[in-house]
Amino acid sequence: MAADTEPLEILLHLPLLAEDKNVPYVFVPSKQALGRACGVTRPVVACSVTSNEASQLKTQIQQLKDAIEKLLI
């Protein structure tokens, strides 16, 4: 989620939902940086990363999830 979202209230329900569902989350400094990380030229206020058993990125996604969970402790 982008920390510079205006108004921030449009995102504030997402951390509560994530915590209820035991889903790690993180805020990044800007919408522009999040958009670039998503591979688009527009600003992005929120995104999600998902995987399935057949995903080639499953290992990297699990490592990222573990790193974020350590930050939330």
| Contact yes or no for 49/1 (Cβ under 8 A) | no
Count Cβ neighbours within 10 Å for each residue of 5-35 and write b for 16 or more, e otherwise.
beeeeebeeeeeebeeeeebbeebeebeebb
Domains, the chain: 8-72 (3.30.1330.30)
Phi, psi of 35 (to 5 degrees): -60, -45
68 or 38, greater pLDDT: 38
In sequence order, what are the residues at sequence separation of 6 or more whose Cβ sits closer than 8 angstroms to the Cβ of residue 46? 1, 2, 5, 11, 14, 34
Total-model pTM: 0.77
User: Which range has highest mean pLDDT (43-47, 48-52, 63-67)?
Assistant: 43-47
Q: In this model, does residue 1 exceed pLDDT 70? A: yes
